[in-house]
Structure 1
Amino acid sequence: MRLAGVAEAVILAWGWRKRLIAFAAGACGALALAPLDLWPFVVVPMTVAIWLIDGAVGTTAGQRFRAGFAAGWWWGFGFFVAGLWWLGAAFLVEADKFAWAMPLGVVALPAFLAVFPAFTFGAARLFWPAGATRILVLAAMLGISEWLRGHVLTGFPWNVYGMMLTGEVHLEQVASLIGLYGLTLFAVAIGAAPATLGTGRGVGRWAPSVFALIGLAGFFGFGLWRVPSGASPVVPGVKLRLMQPNLSQDAKFNGTHGPAILEKYLELSDRATSPENPGLQGVTHLIWPESAFPFLLGRTPGALSRIASALPPDVTLITGAARAGEALPGESRPPIYNSIQVVNDEGAILASYDKVHLVPFGEYLPPVLGTLIRAVGLSQFVSVPGGFSSGTRHAPLAIKGLPPAAPLICYEVVFPGEVTPRGPRPAFFLNLTNDGWFGLTSGPHQHFAQARLRSVEEGLPLVRVANTGISGVVDAYGRVVASLPLGAEGVLDTALPRRGPATLYGRAGDAVFAGLVVLFLAISSFTRRRRRQRT
Structure 2
Amino acid sequence: MILRRIDGRRAGLAFLCGVLATAALPPFHLWPLIFPAFSGFLWLLRDEARPRAALWLGWCFGFGHFVTGLYWISNALLVPPAAFLWMVPFALVGLPIVLAVFTGAITWGVVRLAPPGKPWLRWLAFGTFWLLAEWLRAHVLTGFPWNLMATVWTDTPAPLQAVAVLGPYGVGAVTVLIGAAFSLGRRAGAAVAALGLALLWGGGALRLDSAPGMDAVQPGVTLKLVQPAIPQSLKWDRNHLQSNFQKYLALSAPAPGEILSAVIWGEAATGYPIEDVAPWRAAIAERAPADGVIITGTNRYLRDAQGNAVQAFNGMVAFDAEGSLRGAFDKFHLVPFGEYIPLKGLLPLQIVTQGASGYTPGPGPRTLRLPGLPPVAPLICYEVIFPDAVIDRADRPSWILNITNDGWYGVSTGPYQHLAATILRAVEEGLPLVRVANTGVSALIDGNGRIWNKLKLNEEAALSVPLPLPLDPPPYSRWGDLVTLLIVTFLLPILALLRLRPSL
Counterpart AA for 2:32 = P
After superposition, give the CA deviation of every residue in 1:236-265 in whole Å (9 maximum; x if it has no partner). Answer: 011111100101112212344332222111
Query: Contact 1:38 / 1:167 at 8 angstroms: preserved in 2?
Result: no
Partners of 1:285 and 1:300 lie apart in 2 by 21
The CA deviation at 1:208 is: 4.0
Counterpart AA for 2:477 = G
Counterpart AA for 2:83 = K
Q: Which residue of 2 aligns with 1:78?
A: 64
Partners of 1:145 and 1:347 lie apart in 2 by 48
Q: Which residue of 2 aligns with 1:61?
A: none
Q: Which residue of 2 aligns with 1:408?
A: 379
Q: Which residue of 2 aligns with 1:201?
A: none
Query: Contact 1:52 / 1:68 at 8 angstroms: preserved in 2?
Result: no
Partners of 2:304 and 2:65 lie apart in 1 by 44
Partners of 2:215 and 2:17 lie apart in 1 by 40
Correspondent of 1:350 among 326, 337, 340: 326
Q: Which residue of 1 aligns with 2:229?
A: 246
Partners of 1:528 and 1:311 lie apart in 2 by 65
Q: Which residue of 2 aligns with 1:310?
A: 287
After superposition, give the CA deviation of every residue in 1:12-67 in whole Å (9 maximum; x if it has no partner). Answer: x932111111111101111111111111111122112322333433xxxxxx2210
Q: Which residue of 2 aligns with 1:25?
A: 17
- Give 1:320-399 correspondences, 5 Å limit: 320-327=297-304, 333-366=309-342, 368=343, 370-371=344-345, 373-374=347-348, 378-399=349-370
Say which SS state the counterpart of residue 449 (structure 1) adopts.
helix
2:490 is aligned with 1:512? no
Query: Contact 1:459 / 1:501 at 8 angstroms: preserved in 2?
Result: yes
Q: Which residue of 2 aligns with 1:235?
A: 218
Say which SS state the counterpart of residue 36 (structure 2) adopts.
helix
Partners of 2:288 and 2:296 lie apart in 1 by 13
Q: Which residue of 2 aligns with 1:4?
A: none
2:203 is aligned with 1:222? yes
The CA deviation at 1:373 is: 4.2
After superposition, give the CA deviation of every residue in 1:239-296 in whole Å (9 maximum; x if it has no partner). Answer: 11110010111221234433222211111212x7xxxx338x4222100001111111
Correspondent of 1:212 among 193, 206, 209: 193
After superposition, give the CA deviation of every residue in 1:81-113 in whole Å (9 maximum; x if it has no partner). Answer: 111111121111110111222111111111110
Query: Contact 1:484 / 1:492 at 8 angstroms: preserved in 2?
Result: yes
After superposition, give the CA deviation of every residue in 1:108-155 in whole Å (9 maximum; x if it has no partner). Answer: 111110011111211221111513231110110111011000000110
Correspondent of 1:183 among 158, 171, 188: 171
After superposition, give the CA deviation of every residue in 1:436-465 in whole Å (9 maximum; x if it has no partner). Answer: 000111100000011011111110000110
- Give 1:71-470 correspondences, 5 Å limit: 71-129=57-115, 130-197=118-185, 206-227=187-208, 228=211, 230-231=213-214, 233-270=216-253, 277-278=255-256, 281-327=258-304, 333-366=309-342, 368=343, 370-371=344-345, 373-374=347-348, 378-470=349-441
Partners of 1:267 and 1:336 lie apart in 2 by 29
Counterpart AA for 1:134 = R
The CA deviation at 1:372 is: 5.2
Partners of 1:29 and 1:147 lie apart in 2 by 18
Query: Contact 1:395 / 1:422 at 8 angstroms: preserved in 2?
Result: no
The CA deviation at 1:160 is: 1.5
Say which SS state the counterpart of residue 239 (structure 1) adopts.
strand
Partners of 1:232 and 1:470 lie apart in 2 by 24
- Distance verdict in 2 for CA 1:403–1:194, change over 3 Å: same
Partners of 2:271 and 2:339 lie apart in 1 by 15
Partners of 2:148 and 2:47 lie apart in 1 by 25
Partners of 1:365 and 1:222 lie apart in 2 by 45
Say which SS state the counterpart of residue 391 (structure 2) adopts.
coil
Counterpart AA for 1:363 = E
Partners of 1:521 and 1:423 lie apart in 2 by 32
Partners of 2:140 and 2:187 lie apart in 1 by 38
Deviates further, 388-397 or 312-321: 312-321
Partners of 2:111 and 2:364 lie apart in 1 by 41
How many equivalent pairs are there?
496
The CA deviation at 1:327 is: 4.2
After superposition, give the CA deviation of every residue in 1:141-194 in whole Å (9 maximum; x if it has no partner). Answer: 111011000000110000112222333111110000011001111011111001
Say which SS state the counterpart of residue 54 (structure 1) adopts.
coil
Query: Contact 1:232 / 1:475 at 8 angstroms: preserved in 2?
Result: no
The CA deviation at 1:69 is: 1.1
Q: Which residue of 2 aligns with 1:7?
A: none
Query: Contact 1:26 / 1:76 at 8 angstroms: preserved in 2?
Result: yes
Q: Which residue of 2 aligns with 1:6?
A: none
Counterpart AA for 1:462 = L
After superposition, give the CA deviation of every residue in 1:419-448 in whole Å (9 maximum; x if it has no partner). Answer: 111313210010000000001111000000
Query: Contact 1:475 / 1:497 at 8 angstroms: preserved in 2?
Result: yes
Partners of 1:231 and 1:239 lie apart in 2 by 14
Query: Contact 1:137 / 1:521 at 8 angstroms: preserved in 2?
Result: no
Segments of structure 1 that go 5 or more residues without pairing to the other structure are 1-12, 58-63, 198-204
The CA deviation at 1:393 is: 2.4
After superposition, give the CA deviation of every residue in 1:406-428 in whole Å (9 maximum; x if it has no partner). Answer: 11110101101101113132100
Q: TM-score, normalised by structure 1?
A: 0.89
Say which SS state the counterpart of residue 162 (structure 2) adopts.
helix
Query: Contact 1:244 / 1:469 at 8 angstroms: preserved in 2?
Result: yes
Identity of aligned residues (%): 38
Say which SS state the counterpart of residue 481 (structure 1) adopts.
strand
